[in-house]
Structure 1
Amino acid sequence: MRASRPKPDKLLDHLRKGDEVVVWKLDRLGRNTRNLLALIDDLEQRGVHFRSVTEGISTTGPMGRAMLTVMSAFAQLERDQLAERTRAGMAAAAEHGRRAGRREVTAEHVKVKRAQELKAQGLAPADIGKIIGASRATVYRYLSLGVDDMS
């Protein structure tokens, strides 16, 4: 039921009855409310306590468990609203002709042209990368752009 996360999974594998899991914030342990509550249930069944420092919640008593449920619901609401605002912002940007992500590099890009010129002079991709300030892999990508133009 819980999402695979290597470090938290490793922690959970080492827990024993009587241990206490302490996190800085609720959202550090679970991806969403359902995931977090299922995880807390699993901990309780194993005799492991939970405490969140920022929210001041501990599952050692019934009130802490109730507060955990309420706080995790609010944390989920906050994440959902953030995702909704992000999607709305991206949609608004798209309406104005802007796209999310890095700009596409074309064969007309200055660094691409420079890389192609240096390659024509016989320089190795690693050396070209040092000159234009790009990784060797990026140089190879640049050199593959406009390959037809170079013949």
Structure 2
Amino acid sequence: MARIGYARVSTVDQDADLQLAALEAAGVDKIFTDHGVSGTKASRPQLDEMLNYLRPGDTVVIWKFDRLGRNTRNLLDLVETIENKDCNFESITEQIDTSGPMGKAMLTIMSAFAQLERDQIAERTKAGLAAAAKNNRLGGRPRKADAQAVADARKWKAEGMSVKKIAGYLEVSRATVYRYLQDA
């Protein structure tokens, strides 16, 4: 009966040190770590390897719910897969252990709340973007040149100046000049 840890970071720039330290402190025997893999992916190389590695009586230990699954259904499906292998599941942060009936019930409740929180964040983000659009504020990077610079670019291009030279005068990339010319 081994304690098997799983850690995941979404981008290659992130590191899993915090998760790994927590898993080691929880006494795991072996850790599988996915680097640069989104939690929305159904198949993750190290997760798949961990699931194949499990033996009856093992306990899968994670740092936090969202490291294993990004939504309630995905998380519950993975925990069901773990339990079908006669293994238990434990989350350090949420303090959930499915070795008993109360842990299983709490897992379902906690994962539903985690999903609700993600859905609310997405809803607030959409509402904020819609409100900003009503006030003529769009997301993204601000334009590097003002309307006068765009007009100059169009005039210079009409006069036969090269895009490279226009880009140099405006201190923007050639792609930006092409975008200005296309918006005409």
| TM-score, normalisation: structure 2 | 0.56
**What is the percentage of aligned positions where both structures have the same residue?**
48
Q: Structure 1 pair 117/10, CA: closer, same or farther in 2 (3 Å)?
A: farther
Residues of 2 paired with 1:11 and 1:41: CA distance?
A: 15
Aligned to 2:99: 60
The separation in 1 between residues aligned to 2:131 and 2:178, in whole angstroms, is 34
In the alignment, does 2:82 pair up with 1:43? yes
Equivalenced residue count is 127
**Further displaced range: 19-28 or 70-79:** 19-28
Match of 2:175 among 138, 141, 144: 141
Alpha-carbon offset, residue 118 of structure 1: 10
Change over 3 Å in CA distance of 1:14–1:146 after alignment to 2: same
1:85 is matched with which residue? Answer: 124
Q: Is the counterpart of residue 116 in structure 1 residue 164 in structure 2?
A: yes
Q: 1:23·1:51 contact (CA, 8 Å) conserved in 2?
A: yes
SS at match of 1:101: coil
Give the 3 Å change call, closer, same or farther, for CA 140–14 of structure 1 in structure 2.
farther
Distance of 1:146 and 1:78 partners within structure 2: 40
Which is richer in helix? Answer: 1
Segments of 5+ residues of structure 1 without an aligned counterpart are 121-131, 133-137
Kindly indicate whether residue 42 of structure 2 is the aligned counterpart of residue 4 of structure 1: yes
- The answer for the alignment partner of 1:76 in structure 2 is 115
Which amino acid is 2:48 matched to?
Answer: D
Deviations, residues 105-124 of structure 1 (Å, cap 9, x unaligned): 66948xx9xx934998xxxx
Which residue identity lines up with residue 98 of structure 1 in the other structure?
R
Q: Considering only aligned residues, what root-mean-square deviation do their CA atoms show, in Å?
A: 3.2
- Secondary structure of 1:11 counterpart: helix
Does the CA contact (< 8 Å) of 1:16 and 1:48 recur in 2? yes
Q: Which has the higher strand share?
A: 2
Q: Using the TM superposition, give the Cα deviation of residue 47 of structure 1 relative to its aligned residue in structure 2, in angstroms.
A: 1.5
Q: Distance in 1 between matches of 2:61 and 2:143?
A: 44
* Unaligned ranges ≥5, structure 2: 1-39, 154-162
1:116 partner letter? K
